[in-house]
């Protein structure tokens, strides 16, 4: 994977009196750790008030037995974060806990609002003071302002104002709420165990706490959960689902289910289609770990070229893209992956990756393979060229950062030092996913709504600075 940044992961649970909700949320967030590694947080309801703890770091670094013991209750929500909007600071960690005249709420958000700067400017003119630089605080503020005793109506009111991608878990002292944006760009699922109901970004989180997937939250749907079950509230805003296609390509964990298939099956199918569309003359098929493995298996099976592990991964180094600074990301590649020299020496390697974003990571890996004695590298990518920025919670803020936005395939091939390069077609990717219902704007430029000319994950911070200097 060449530098595409993650979004966030959310989890919520409500159970019976014996449910240790903070502990269950800990395990749920642990399963979602791949979605964000900068900060983690858990909020619980005691029935009367909301307690919370959040800090920078991995779930296992932020929470231990002693800390979890300070968070009693049978209802909780949690969050793991990558900073797609707002700087990487503890004040921007989630869940956000807001106390207001009508009560209190905790909010965990995955996604990005495209109208956040204008909304914030309007609210500031009305006297609202913000403590963070994240768009999630806008949502919490809008819900709190609209709450006159019916929290669901307050959420629906906020949904009529915000635009963009969002999957929300909202908790009041007595209610757990799940919300999905009208286009269903960000995923959110409902799960259950013997005595609990849950919400999560991915079904793998339910597996981690002994639960099972029930269904996805529908686009534009608001659900309220209690120990007895789920109640659905329709916003009237729903449109045909446009789930982010990168969930299938990369973000979702291989064992998670979205739609009717696991991510592993979709990615293997993409690799198989890639082998048909772009055959290569090679001795071995080598994946870029870990996200390229499933596609490489499919490519190898269909092409008949043997699959081989050409890289060893250091499991104690986090994802390279998790560092906000490019220099740190690049250095992380060398720490993270080492070449198995005996495997690649003298071989023509078919190198399979899930995508190319900036091109910096794949260039370093190809040079590592050449230094180890590979005689040729045919690069095959199990997704189309990324030519447009994402505005919905993935940090590709500028066309200038996307290698394929300004170069054709031959030029990209030369830039990354490959002997040949081929991408999976958009048609092939849609076939692998199983339909045309996903948002593929990063490949096609066809956004599900009006978006700014350029994405900017620090837009709210810049708006703050501009406002302060006027």
Binding residues for Mg(2+): 291, 353-354
Instruction: State CA 366 to chain mean position distance.
Output: 27
Annotated binding-site residues read 244, 291, 353-354, 390, 439, 442
**CA-based angle 292:297:301, to the nearest 5?**
150
First vs last C-alpha separation in the chain: 42
Q: Is the dihedral of CA 294, 297, 303, 306 positive or negative?
A: positive
Q: How many other CB atoms sit within 10 Å of the CB of residue 345?
A: 13
What is the β-pairing status of strands 75-81 and 229-234? unpaired
Q: How does 24-39 read in b/e, with b if 16+ C-beta sit within 10 Å?
A: bbbbbbbbbbbbbbbb
> Could you tell me which residues are beta bridge partners of residue 72?
none
Phi, psi dihedral angles at 177 (to 5 degrees): -130, 140
Structure tokens at 187: 């995923």
Q: Residue 381: which of 397, 398, 403, 399 has the closest Cα?
A: 403
Q: Residue 114, CB half-sphere, CA atoms under 13 Å: how many? A: 18
Residue with tokens 């590979």: 374
Reduced to 3 states (helix: H, G, I; strand: E, B; else coil), residue 150 is coil
Burial of 254 (0-12, 13-18, 19+ CB in 10 A): middle
Q: Please give the helix or strand (H or E) that residue 172 lies within, else none.
A: strand 164-172
What is d(CA 171, CA 178) in angstroms, rounded to the nearest whole number? 9
Report the C-alpha gap between 455 and 395 in whole angstroms.
8
Distances (CA, A) of 302 to 135, 270, 313: 45, 11, 26
Mapping DSSP to helix (H, G, I), strand (E, B) and coil, where does residue 417 land?
coil
Residues 133, 349: Cα–Cα separation, whole Å: 45
Residues annotated as catalytic are 8
Count the neighbouring beta carbons within 10 Å of the beta carbon of residue 69. Answer: 11
User: In the chain, how long is the greatest CA-to-CA distance?
Assistant: 71
> For residues 208, 382, 240 and 191, what is the CA-based torsion angle, rounded to 10 degrees?
-10
């Amino acid at each position: 994977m060449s530098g595409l940044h993650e979004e966030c992961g959310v989890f919520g649970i409500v159970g019976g009196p014996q449910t240790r909700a903070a502990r269950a949320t800990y395990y749920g967030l642990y399963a979602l750790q791949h979605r964000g590694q900068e900060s983690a947080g858990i909020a619980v309801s005691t029935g009367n008030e909301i307690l919370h703890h959040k800090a920078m770091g991995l779930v296992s670094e932020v929470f231990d037995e002693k800390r979890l013991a300070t968070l009693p209750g049978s209802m909780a929500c949690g969050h793991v974060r990558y900073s797609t909007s707002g700087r990487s600071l503890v004040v921007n960690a989630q869940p956000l806990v807001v106390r207001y005249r009508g009560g209190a709420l905790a909010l965990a958000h995955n996604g990005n609002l495209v109208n956040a700067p204008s909304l914030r400017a309007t609210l500031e003119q009305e006297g609202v003071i913000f403590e963070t630089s994240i768009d999630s605080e806008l949502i919490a503020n809008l819900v709190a302002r609209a709450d006159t005793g019916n929290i669901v109506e307050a959420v629906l009111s906020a949904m009529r104002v915000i635009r963009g991608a969002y999957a929300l878990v909202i908790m009041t002292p007595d209610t757990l709420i799940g919300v999905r944006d009208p286009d269903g760009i960000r995923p959110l699922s409902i799960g259950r165990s013997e005595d609990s109901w849950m919400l999560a970004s991915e079904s793998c989180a339910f597996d981690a706490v002994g639960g099972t997937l029930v269904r996805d939250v529908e686009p534009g749907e608001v659900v309220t959960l209690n120990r007895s079950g789920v109640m659905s509230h329709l916003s009237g805003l729903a449109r045909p689902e446009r789930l982010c296609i990168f969930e299938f390509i990369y973000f979702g964990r291989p064992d998670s289910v979205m739609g009717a298939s696991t991510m592993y099956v979709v990615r293997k199918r993409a690799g198989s289609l890639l082998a048909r569309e772009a055959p290569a003359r090679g001795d071995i098929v080598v994946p870029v770990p870990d996200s390229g493995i499933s596609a490489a298996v499919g490519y190898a099976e269909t092409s008949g070229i043997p699959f081989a592990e050409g890289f060893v991964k250091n499991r104690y180094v986090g994802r390279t893209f998790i560092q906000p600074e490019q220099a740190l990301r690049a250095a992380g590649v060398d720490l993270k992956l080492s070449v198995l020299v005996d495997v690649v020496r003298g071989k023509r390697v078919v190198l399979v990756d899930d995508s190319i974003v900036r091109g910096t990571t794949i260039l370093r890996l190809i040079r590592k393979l050449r230094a180890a004695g590979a005689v040729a590298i045919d690069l095959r990518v199990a997704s189309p060229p990324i030519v447009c920025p994402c505005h919905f919670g993935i940090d590709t803020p500028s066309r200038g950062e996307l290698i394929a936005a300004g170069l054709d395939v031959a030029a990209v091939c030369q830039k990354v030092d490959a002997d040949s390069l081929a991408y999976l077609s958009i048609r092939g990717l849609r076939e692998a996913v199983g339909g045309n219902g996903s948002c593929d704007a990063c490949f096609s430029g066809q956004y599900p709504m009006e978006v700014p000319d350029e994405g900017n994950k620090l837009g709210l911070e810049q708006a703050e600075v501009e406002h302060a200097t006027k």
